[in-house]
């Protein structure tokens, strides 16, 4: 008997121009366009196996080993329904000899190789991997942008994880959402020198989710209207140009300004939303000081911070600067012995010793205790979803999690 099964992995993306606000909450249509960098799946990824079989009685999904309910009318159900619809339209209606996979129930098993507790958004890579594995299962002859229309309905930011490199989510204008999709601004190979250092900041309290936070901002923030109408459109043009020209100065300036403005509109929400904490703000202070030194020396910006809906910092920088950045970050935010996985061999197996660059004003932040930053992840710009072989499948012979 033929087994209809496919496995795919998809990357995490971190926005430089932030998506914050929906004009349609059901279709997930944003109030502004956004732009992100796709991170390398060698370090952070979601992997998903999907199988269609006439013996399955209902659609089921397991996430990190635990079964997740697929709620009627929910985001997961929408993505699965839309993928089945595409299978029918693109394959079964055109070639009636093809098996009617769209009429079979599916079993889906997904796994993130990074702990949810790290506070890294997994919904973007998760929905992108889900849609990618179903696209392979259904052998859909469609583009990544078309698939992004579907992953967008799982989680807005997930549409940008359908591409590698530098990716724009064009907000579109059609009420149906047909033009609200992701496009590649430049592939990974265009600017592979962009690396990222993720500072995982401890966070005990339960924060406001992106979904509910952004809707409150849409309903109450006057500043958001200014951002949507007067700020983002120009920034999108400017940062795309900076990426195409590999102009790190402009890229860094816009990335930091947009992170700041996103957190400003969060604060402008009623009641206000705080995503950054004292540790986040201290990381901003040391990055600002690091840039001040190089700007005064005439060599321009060396790093850019950005923060999503939580306290973690993502620092983008050319590869050559990452060693120095790790050194001053661990000076202020000491790490447990061996907590930093030196995947790019910056320290050549030697010990990582904290130090600040010459001329650095050490008083810009206080020194925190071990654990304030509970981990550092060094990664870089990466490629888009990958089709994986059967040896990496997450479902066993019977179509249940291994
Ligand atoms: C701050 O994509 O998680 O990370 O569409 O409601 O699922 P939903 O929201 P989500 O929001 C991400 C917000 C952000 C900025 C960004 O990634 O652009």
Q: How many residues does the chain have?
A: 402
Pocket test for ligand 1, best of 14, 15, 19 (most atoms within 8 A of CB): 19
Measured in Å, residue 232 CA sits from the centre of ligand 1 at: 16
- Which residues have a Cβ under 8 Å from the Cβ of 238 and sit 6 or more positions away? 250, 254
- Which residues have a Cβ under 8 Å from the Cβ of 184 and sit 6 or more positions away? 144, 163, 164, 165, 166, 167
The CB of 19 under 6 Å from ligand 1? The reply is yes
pLDDT mean over 357-376:
96
pLDDT reading at 81 higher than 80 = yes
pLDDT mean over 97-110:
97
Measured in Å, residue 209 CA sits from the centre of ligand 1 at: 9
6-60: per-residue pLDDT in tens? Answer: 999 999 999 999 999 999 999 999 999 999 999 999 999 999 999 999 999 999 9
**What does the angle CA 325 – CA 331 – CA 337 come to, to the nearest 5 degrees?**
100
The CB of 157 under 6 Å from ligand 1? The reply is yes
The CB of 309 under 6 Å from ligand 1? The reply is yes
**What does the angle CA 31 – CA 308 – CA 186 come to, to the nearest 5 degrees?**
70
Ligand 1 nearest atom to the CA of residue 158, by list position: 2
Measured in Å, residue 379 CA sits from the centre of ligand 1 at: 21
pLDDT at 337: 82
The CB of 161 under 6 Å from ligand 1? The reply is no
pLDDT mean over 263-281:
97
Q: What pTM does this model have?
A: 0.97
The CB of 80 under 6 Å from ligand 1? The reply is no
343-355: per-residue pLDDT in tens? Answer: 999 998 788 889 9
pLDDT reading at 204 higher than 80 = no
Ligand 1 nearest atom to the CA of residue 30, by list position: 5
Closest CA to 328 of 292, 296, 277, 300: 292
Confidence of residue 118 (pLDDT cuts 50, 70, 90): low
Complex prediction ipTM: 0.99
Ligand 1 nearest atom to the CA of residue 152, by list position: 5
Mean pLDDT score of the chain: 96
């Amino acid at each position: 008997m033929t087994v209809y099964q496919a496995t795919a992995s998809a990357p995490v993306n971190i926005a430089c121009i932030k998506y914050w606000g929906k004009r349609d909450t059901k279709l997930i249509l944003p109030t502004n366009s956004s732009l992100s960098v796709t991170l390398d799946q060698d370090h952070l990824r979601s992997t998903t196996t999907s199988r269609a079989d006439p013996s399955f009685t209902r659609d089921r999904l397991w996430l990190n080993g635990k079964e997740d309910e697929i709620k009627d009318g929910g985001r997961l159900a929408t993505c699965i329904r839309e993928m089945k619809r595409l299978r029918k339209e693109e394959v079964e209606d055109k070639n009636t000899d093809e098996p009617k996979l769209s009429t079979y129930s599916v079993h889906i098993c997904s796994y993130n190789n990074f702990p949810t507790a790290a506070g890294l958004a997994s919904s973007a890579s998760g929905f992108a991997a889900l849609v990618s594995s179903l696209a392979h299962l259904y052998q859909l002859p469609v583009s990544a942008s078309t698939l992004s229309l579907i992953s967008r309905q799982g989680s807005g930011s997930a549409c940008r994880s359908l591409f590698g490199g530098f990716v724009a989510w064009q907000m579109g204008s059609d009420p149906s959402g047909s033009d609200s999709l992701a496009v590649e601004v430049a592939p990974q190979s265009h600017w592979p020198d962009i690396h990222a250092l993720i500072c995982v900041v401890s966070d005990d309290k339960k924060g406001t989710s992106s979904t509910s936070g952004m809707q409150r901002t849409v309903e109450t923030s006057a500043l958001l209207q200014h951002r949507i109408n007067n700020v983002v459109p120009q920034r999108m043009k400017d940062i795309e140009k900076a990426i195409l020209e590999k102009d790190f100065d402009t890229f860094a300036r816009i990335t930091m300004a947009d992170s700041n403005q996103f957190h400003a509109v969060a604060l402008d929400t009623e009641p206000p939303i705080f995503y950054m904490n004292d540790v986040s703000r201290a990381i901003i202070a040391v990055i600002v000081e690091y840039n001040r030194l190089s700007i005064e020396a005439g060599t321009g910006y060396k790093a850019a911070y950005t923060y999503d809906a939580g306290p973690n910092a993502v620092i983008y920088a050319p590869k050559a600067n990452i060693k120095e950045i790790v050194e001053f970050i661990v000076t202020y935010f000491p790490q447990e012995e061996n907590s930093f996985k030196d995947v790019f061999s910056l320290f050549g197996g030697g010990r990582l010793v904290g130090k600040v660059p010459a001329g650095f004003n050490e008083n810009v932040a206080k020194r925190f205790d071990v654990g304030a930053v509970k981990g550092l992840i060094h990664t870089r710009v990466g490629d888009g979803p990958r089709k994986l072989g059967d040896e990496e499948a997450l479902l066993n012979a019977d179509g249940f999690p291994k």
